[in-house]
Chain A
Amino acid sequence: MSLLHIKNLTHYFGGLCAVNDFNLELESGELLGIIGPNGSGKTTVFNLITGVYRPTGGSIRFRDREISGTRPANITMLGIARTFQNIRLFNNLSVLDNVRIAHFGRTHYSPLEAIFHIGRYQAEEERITDHSLDLLDRFGLADHAETEAKNLPYGMQRRLEIVRALATNPSLLCLDEPAAGMNPSEIQKLMDFIQRIRKEFSLTILLIEHQMRLVMGICERLKVLDFGATIAEGAPEEIRANHKVLEAYLGEEAAE
């Protein structure tokens, strides 16, 4: 049984077909890259998987359970987490609070216990605070726990976004252009980082990326989108030689 099974996924924005007949079979533990030129529908696929949009057609099954039409928070609780192309941290909150918020669904006390600070409140707060700080500590962010997220340097903001996603305890992690704005040495570090969290958290990873260095370096399998349609699929070497892919990226003449 595959972890994520997407069949005939289609999404229209008005008359514009953003994703057309997208199919995906993702096994547990896999690292799959989705590439394609700007506007080819990659982020839309993520938005469909995580429930931000409701698909026009097709089905998304996660662990053999239909999830299209489920509210995003509930999908997250099932074990799908994501990061964003343009960083979307909770800017005015501390690094620690950013991670604590990601524990929302697994904090067990009632509103009544919260407004009187009684019952399980104290123990639960301690538990999630410790867990958040442990997590931050593992990725070298514990020293900045009390910094406001917006004041972190860019690279750390990217890292914090991934840590925050990890705090939701996912089995599938969707990374949307994690290397955007990074230089080659930073990309190398990011590759190691992705491999590390993949192993330590036994994750399945979906990766959208523009940086060929990154996708070719770590993905076992690639999917290439162009204008919402899947134009190629296969191992990085096959994709590199694929005529259609070159055409999509460089234009028809250059490909010939």
Chain B
Amino acid sequence: MRIPCSRNIKFLVLIPGGWLLCFLIPRLGILNPYVQLVFIYVGINIILATSLNLINGYMGEFSVGHAGFMAVGAYISSLLTVRVIPASWNPYLFPFALVAGGMGAGLVGLIVAVPSFKTRGDYLAIVTLAFNMIVKSVIENIEAIGGPRGLLGMQKMTTLPWVFFWTVVSIWIIRNFVYSNFGRGVLSIREDEIAGELMGVNTRRVKLLGFVISSFFAGIAGGLFAHNLQFINPRVFDILKSTDILIMVYLGGVGSIAGSIIGAGIYTLLLEYLRFLKEWRMVLMPLLLVFLMLFRPRGIMGLREFKGFVPQYYLSAVELWLARRKKEDVAPSH
């Protein structure tokens, strides 16, 4: 083991500990169901914000159709649990239904990535906007899956431990992806696409990967969302939902996983806390955003990262290099 162990142990304690807590909370009745529900939404929103941040923050594109991927995942997993999987098997096969939904969304992400080869910036934003509208209209027009009335009959499968599990998985995988060769390729697209391409980055491959991973987790979040609410209809996944996710990303900070978590957390919790303001909370929240953009345009964590999310060898690359070099210098002499 080359990596110093202390922080690994920290995560080895924190993650199962967190999961255990999520598992115990409902059983011990520590928190009332409403608060639990809020935490479920926090988790789902963290998945959505982190996955969107991969495209908008790390790749530097501007996708405004994230709810479209969410819809694909929500409908596929719901159709599976309601129509295909026998009700008694649902608790066991729920993860597979979720993954199937995620894969469906990933496949759609693959298609949406293709226009990004040719166009970027505002124009790609329009493409993703159109994609979101297409998904919504298509679902509205298929009677077999409920059309505009929506789909119901899902069991309440989304529990706090499941949400915690998927949140950790999505953060871990997106973080691993970002700190890899492909992730650096994604960053080079944000920084200077032509220069990246001329340094040998296969930008098409990297874009495909980025979009697939991002939409996969949007699909997972959609599945969790559907099996929490136990009812979905196409209107839930419209542009407004995409905008919500965008706000979380830009509030928390672009190009930062910690930012996505903070953004999703603050946005979700604040909206709940401000319920006493009735309609006015939808005025206050955007106003907060305006001020944020004026004083911190990159969001709370913009382009910065909480060190715990950065792989150790990234943090101490230079020290490790010096250590290895020293060893090499010593080796030939004896």
Chain A residues in the interface with B (C-beta under 8 A): 50, 52, 71-73, 76-77, 81-82, 84, 88-93, 96-97, 100-107, 109, 111, 114-117, 121-122, 124-126, 128-130, 133, 142, 145-146, 164-165, 167-168
Contacts and interface: CB of A to CB of B under 8 A. Distances in A.
A125 B313 contact: yes
A103 B188 CA distance: 12
Contacts of B318: 96, 133, 142, 145-146
Interface in B279-334: 303, 311, 313, 317-318, 320-321, 324
A126 B317 CA distance: 9
A96 B321 CA distance: 12
A249 B185 CA distance: 42
Top 8 A-B pairs, shortest CB-CB distance? A114-B180, A90-B191, A105-B200, A76-B200, A88-B195, A107-B181, A102-B199, A133-B321
Given A111-B209, A145-B318, A93 B200 contact: no
Nearest to B191: A90
A96 B318 CA distance: 9
Nearest to A130: B321
Contact of B200 (A52, A126, A129, A168): A168
21 contacts: A50-B198, A73-B198, A76-B197, A90-B191, A90-B196, A96-B317, A97-B184, A103-B200, A104-B184, A105-B202, A114-B181, A114-B183, A115-B180, A115-B213, A129-B313, A130-B321, A130-B324, A133-B321, A145-B318, A167-B199, A168-B199
Interface string B169-212: 00001001100111111011011101111111111000001000
Interface string B81-100: 00000000000000000000
A74 to B, nearest CB: 8
Interface of B: 2, 173, 176-177, 180-185, 187-188, 190-192, 194-203, 209, 213, 255, 303, 311, 313, 317-318, 320-321, 324
Q: At the interface, is chain B mostly helix, strand, loop or mixed?
A: helix
Contact of A104 (B190, B192, B202, B303): B202
A199 to B, nearest CB: 23
Given A81-B198, A116-B173, A145-B318, 10 more contacts: A73-B198, A73-B203, A90-B188, A90-B192, A90-B195, A100-B184, A114-B177, A116-B176, A125-B180, A130-B321
A252 B148 CA distance: 76
Given A109-B181, A125-B313, A97 B187 contact: yes
The winner among B194, B202, B321 for most chain A CB atoms within 10 A is: B321
